[in-house]
Amino acid sequence: MSVDDHDHPPPPGAQVVVKGQLNVADEGFPPVPHISENFIPLSVVVSRLVENTYSELVNILETLPAANDTTKKRKFLNFLVHTRQQYIKLLVLTQWSRNAKDISKVIDVVSWLSGQKNCFSNVVWALQAVKQDLGSARLRNPDIATALEVFVLGKPRLSSFNYIPPKPLSPQTILDTLHDLNVLLSLRLALTDDIPVPFRNYKIANGRVTFCVEGEFEVDLGIADDDPNSRFFLIDFRYSFKPTSTVTPAIRATVERIGNEVLTTKGLDGLYDCLHNFTLSYKLLILQQQLVRLANGIWTGTLNISYFAERQAIAIQYWSEQPGRKAMAEIGVLQSKVLGVRWIPRDFPPETFAIDQDEMSAQTVLSQIIVYHIQQLLAAVQTVFLSSHIYKSLPHLITPMSDTKLKIELTPSLTTYLTVEHLTGRMVLEGTTDLIASAENALNAQTDIQSSTQILTNLRHLCIQREVEERVNGAGWDVIKVTNIRPDDIRQKYGVGVRQTTTIRQRHWMRGWFIVVTITDNAINLWVSEFKPADGGWSIAWNEPLGVEALDTVYSPEKLSQLAAVTSARITFHIIANCLQERNIPYEFILPPPDVHGSALELPSLQLDSSAVTKSSWAKSAFKLEFIPSDTEENRNAVIVTGSMEKSSALSSVSTNSSDVILDGQNGRFCLKFYVPPNHLILQQMLDRLSQIERAVSFIATLQSFNLKLEEVSLSRIVFEYAPDLRMTLTISGEQKMMLGLSGSNPHRRIQFFLQDILDNEGLRSLLAVLPATLPLLRAASYIDSSDVYFITHNPKSYRIIYYTQKHAIDIELRDKDGHKMVYITDSSGDIPGFKHVLSSIWNSNSPGMVGLETGIACEIDVAEDLLSRVHSAISS
């Protein structure tokens, strides 16, 4: 019978045939569980595929117009192929859906069979567990052999296993037995010649001999009888080093078994070697365990441990975070058969040393290794540092404070200490400055000792540079960061050994002038330098050492003030020297010796030949220029010029009215003081002042040669009397000009312009010659000149008197005749009736000093005033 539907079960007792097979009827059995999870209706699949196809088609139609023909065809073809594949899959699903019930039954049966398989597997494993558990419940087989011995002999031959208690021994028996054993052991050891050296320290007590190996173990041996050839047997074993640990029963049993075997074959020598090797291995195990705890504790990340049991060694790699100083060490058995350390560094020769045998402390061993490494490292740094030819003479710069600390003198006032951290291997520089912190980072980034020394050297240079900048900045100096100086200029001007440079200056100095502090490996030098722009940077136009070789000697404010004064002097004298070279004036510098021992800085000076800057002989020998620094906050530095001059009472009478000029005519000395302007150009001031003195000396000599009375004499003003109650003032300016001055009532004011012209063009001597010759004429003019009489001056030698009312004129001229001055008075009006008769009596006068002419008269100077008065009276009346 074929059944296709569960809705119509077969009648009772019928056979069920499924797909041509005969099966047992399933009446009375529970149904197979139906599986319905994760099933999706076919209608949902169809609707979703249709919706997806429609959305993709709409998207294709919207995007195709923007593409070219080829792209349109490709996209549409891809859409068709993809859609066809999806609908083929849908077709297959639709065909399968026709047998959905049968397929669902198959799925249910497969799921049920899989569950049954798991049940059978669980039953098999449960039976296997029961089998294993039944093994412990098995009963032992009866001891037939022992039972026969009891039946035959009445007792077993084997031990009673303490089921039958032995007869107790008396204390005396025990003491006697132990005493006999002690005697036998003493005799036995006394007669034995091959006792190992480490076993020669022993003690006998309680019927046993105890061999004590210091720092390793103690072993108790005994004997079983009094036969000299009988072997020893091992009774007990203990460790004799720290940390003390109890020998476990398992280890004691193993040691006892192996020890008795070795005693049988190799005797005491073999026993010692066996126990010695065992103890060394156990010590290494203890150290390895301690090192592992350290590596997992405070040494995490810096310590790597490897244990090699086959060669009895522990490899330690410490400072693993420091690639430049990472080192290896091995703890193992040395040639002396004791534990020791083989130190295997990278930059130092290997070294071997023993460790404490009495106490196994990994912390102590590790500290011993690292301390030794630090000692070698710091000693190498000090050796390399002092091996340089630069620092051989400066051993105080780096000195050991202890085995693990170096004292480094960076500057006279700054010291740091170099140490190495035990845990990490980092080099540590004690200090809080950023330079020290940066140097510390650089030290830990380097990989060799030479680099460490160079870093410390650079740190010293930078600290010196900073200290210089801080000290001078605190004293009011400006620290200028001039970074674009050409390196070739630095090497050429300051030397090839310059490591750092610092430029400082005073604010009142000219632009481009600096003090350059150069720091070399073994010295600090100061240079006064002039910088000039060149190619976008600075070039060193001129430089000169200041003679200060130890800057710590000028750190005090007083010394810095002296340094500013010396530098200002060098700048001023250099500019003066350049001006002198332009004028071809010879000069000589006088420089002080170098300030090596910190004594007071001395100012330089300059010396000139007097004949090169003066024309007259008032000054003798040479002029000396000295710099006088300012003692006020105005920074008014000065230069004084001193020298010798001719002894003269005239110069002694010169009043300077200033402390800037001192003329000592009695002692033949002079001193001139000039304040230095911001541009330091004072040479022209000095030459003008010397020229002023020279003119003043020349004027005084000229006035004295005319026997004139000097009423006031200074370098800028001379007042002299050239006639009774008549004075003239000569003002001497620094611009090579002299101004003539007369009072308001002085007759010569009428011709002051002409006198000034004579003074400017012909000199003072010509002026002094004109004054007495013109004085009578000008005195007469003072009372002749009136409202209707005009006294006209053509020049100092030619005048005209015009009488406006009388229509008459008189000409007056000064002429030289036979070396004497003569005054010629002539009538320039011609033949005017009335006047000719009046004046003819005067023209024909034969008075002393007068010579009559046809139309005038000639007379000497001293009678000219009286003669003019007579002529004026005659014409006016």
Letter for the amino acid at 788?
Answer: D
Does 789 lie in the same domain as 810?
A: yes
The pLDDT value recorded for residue 326 is 66
pLDDT digits (tens, 9 = 90+) for 314-330: 888 888 777 666 678 88
Distance CA 333, CA 347 (A): 24
823: which residues sit within 8 A by CB, 6+ positions away? 776, 777, 812, 813, 814, 858, 859, 860, 861, 864, 867
Beta strands in 153-205 (DSSP E): 202-205
Rounded average pLDDT over 38-47: 86
Residue 667 has pLDDT above 80, yes or no: no
Is residue 612 within 8 A of residue 666, CB to CB? The reply is no
Let me know if residue 721 belongs to a domain: no
Is the bond preceding 243 in cis, omega lying within 30 degrees of 0? yes
Distance CA 209, CA 226 (A): 15
Distance CA 314, CA 342 (A): 10
Letter for the amino acid at 68?
Answer: N
pLDDT confidence tier of residue 14, bands split at 50, 70 and 90: very low
Residue bearing tokens 């149904």: 31
Rounded average pLDDT over 605-616: 72
Rounded average pLDDT over 497-520: 80
Instruction: Tell me whether strands 619-628 and 233-239 are parallel, antiparallel or unpaired.
Output: unpaired
Residue 7 has pLDDT above 80, yes or no: no
Strand partners, 727: 721
Average pLDDT, the chain: 80
Rounded average pLDDT over 616-644: 72
Distance CA 430, CA 419 (A): 8
* DSSP letter string, 526-537: EEEEEEEEETTE
Residue 122 has pLDDT above 90, yes or no: yes
Residue bearing tokens 């005491």: 268
Residue at a domain's end among 265, 283, 301: 283
Residue at a domain's end among 96, 119, 142: 119
CA atoms within 13 A on the CB side of 116: 8
Does 821 lie in the same domain as 792?
A: yes
Higher pLDDT, 651 or 589: 589
The pLDDT value recorded for residue 22 is 38
Cα 496 off chain centre by: 20
841: which residues sit within 8 A by CB, 6+ positions away? 874
| DSSP H helical ranges for 659-724 | 683-705
Rounded average pLDDT over 732-758: 82
Q: Measuring CA to CA, how many Å separate 302 from each of 291, 343, 344, 418, 506?
A: 12, 17, 17, 21, 54
The pLDDT value recorded for residue 655 is 60
Higher pLDDT, 521 or 856: 856
Which has the minimum average pLDDT: 175-184, 358-367, 448-457, 648-657? 648-657
Is residue 479 within 8 A of residue 533, CB to CB? The reply is no
pLDDT confidence tier of residue 356, bands split at 50, 70 and 90: confident
Does 474 lie in the same domain as 600?
A: no
Compute the C-alpha angle 31/34/36, nearest 5°: 170
Residue 260 has pLDDT above 80, yes or no: yes
Phi and psi at residue 351, to the nearest 5°: -140, 145
Query: Which H or E run includes 776?
Result: helix 764-784
Is residue 591 within 8 A of residue 601, CB to CB? The reply is no
Does 629 lie in the same domain as 527?
A: no
Closest CA to 235 of 165, 178, 282: 178
Strand partners, 218: 212, 238
- Secondary structure of 824-841 in HEC code, one letter for each residue: EEEECCCCCCCHHHHHHH
Distance CA 7, CA 30 (A): 16
DSSP code for 656: -
Phi and psi at residue 399, to the nearest 5°: -135, 145
Does 541 lie in the same domain as 499?
A: yes
3-state class of 48 per DSSP?
helix
Rounded average pLDDT over 149-171: 77
The pLDDT value recorded for residue 423 is 85
pLDDT confidence tier of residue 703, bands split at 50, 70 and 90: confident
Percent helix, strand, coil in the chain (nearest 5)?
45, 25, 30
Is residue 416 within 8 A of residue 431, CB to CB? The reply is yes
Rounded average pLDDT over 507-518: 81
Does 450 lie in the same domain as 543?
A: yes
pLDDT confidence tier of residue 869, bands split at 50, 70 and 90: confident
The pLDDT value recorded for residue 3 is 36
101, two tokens = 């019930």
Positive or negative torsion for Cα 231, 236, 241, 245: positive
Q: Buried (b) or exposed (e) across 326-347, using 16+ Cβ within 10 A?
A: bbbbbbbbeeeeebbbbbbbee
The pLDDT value recorded for residue 88 is 94
Q: Measuring CA to CA, how many Å separate 163 from each of 142, 146, 152, 160, 166?
A: 18, 15, 20, 6, 9
Distance CA 463, CA 437 (A): 12
Closest CA to 294 of 423, 427, 425, 426: 423
Rounded average pLDDT over 528-550: 75
CA atoms within 13 A on the CB side of 557: 3
CA dihedral 385, 386, 392, 395 (to 10 degrees): 110
Residue 431 has pLDDT above 90, yes or no: no
CA dihedral 558, 563, 564, 566 (to 10 degrees): 130
The pLDDT value recorded for residue 124 is 93
Let me know if residue 323 belongs to a domain: no
pTM, 2 dp: 0.55
3-state class of 596 per DSSP?
coil
pLDDT confidence tier of residue 480, bands split at 50, 70 and 90: confident
DSSP code for 516: E
Rounded average pLDDT over 55-83: 87
Which has the minimum average pLDDT: 253-267, 351-365, 823-837? 823-837
Higher pLDDT, 349 or 54: 54
Let me know if residue 619 belongs to a domain: yes
Residue bearing tokens 């004084």: 640
Domain count, the chain: 6
Domain with 780 in it: 771-876
Closest CA to 356 of 379, 378, 370, 338: 338
Residue 558 has pLDDT above 80, yes or no: no
Query: Which H or E run includes 400?
Result: strand 398-402
The pLDDT value recorded for residue 601 is 64
pLDDT confidence tier of residue 113, bands split at 50, 70 and 90: very high
pLDDT digits (tens, 9 = 90+) for 386-412: 776 556 556 677 777 787 888 888 877
Let me know if residue 303 belongs to a domain: no
Compute the C-alpha angle 403/338/378, nearest 5°: 15
Residue 706 has pLDDT above 60, yes or no: yes
501, two tokens = 């440079």
Does 527 lie in the same domain as 482?
A: yes
Rounded average pLDDT over 648-656: 57
Let me know if residue 331 belongs to a domain: no
Range among 474-488, 569-583, 791-805 with highest mean pLDDT value: 791-805
Let me know if residue 163 belongs to a domain: no
The pLDDT value recorded for residue 635 is 65
Longest dimension (CA), the chain: 216
Q: Measuring CA to CA, how many Å separate 427 from each of 139, 168, 377, 436?
A: 73, 73, 10, 12
Residue at a domain's end among 521, 555, 589: 555
Residue 553 has pLDDT above 70, yes or no: no
The pLDDT value recorded for residue 15 is 39
Which has the minimum average pLDDT: 251-265, 320-334, 604-618? 604-618
Phi and psi at residue 6, to the nearest 5°: -70, -10
Is residue 654 within 8 A of residue 714, CB to CB? The reply is yes
Is residue 638 within 8 A of residue 630, CB to CB? The reply is yes
Letter for the amino acid at 231?
Answer: R
pLDDT digits (tens, 9 = 90+) for 788-840: 888 888 888 899 888 887 788 888 899 888 778 888 888 877 655 556 667 78
Q: Measuring CA to CA, how many Å separate 343 from each of 152, 295, 309, 354?
A: 73, 19, 19, 11
Does 585 lie in the same domain as 547?
A: no
Does 54 lie in the same domain as 11?
A: no
Does 548 lie in the same domain as 462?
A: yes
The pLDDT value recorded for residue 50 is 93
299, two tokens = 């040494």
Residue 95 has pLDDT above 70, yes or no: yes
Let me know if residue 761 belongs to a domain: no
Q: What value does the CA radius of gyration of the chain take, rounded to a whole number of Å?
A: 65
738, two tokens = 């002299």
The pLDDT value recorded for residue 211 is 92
Rounded average pLDDT over 565-575: 81
Query: Which H or E run includes 462?
Result: helix 449-474
Does 533 lie in the same domain as 398?
A: yes
Rounded average pLDDT over 755-759: 88
Letter for the amino acid at 129?
Answer: A
Residue 382 has pLDDT above 90, yes or no: no
The pLDDT value recorded for residue 89 is 92
Let me know if residue 377 belongs to a domain: no
Closest CA to 239 of 293, 286, 182: 286
Does 58 lie in the same domain as 17?
A: no
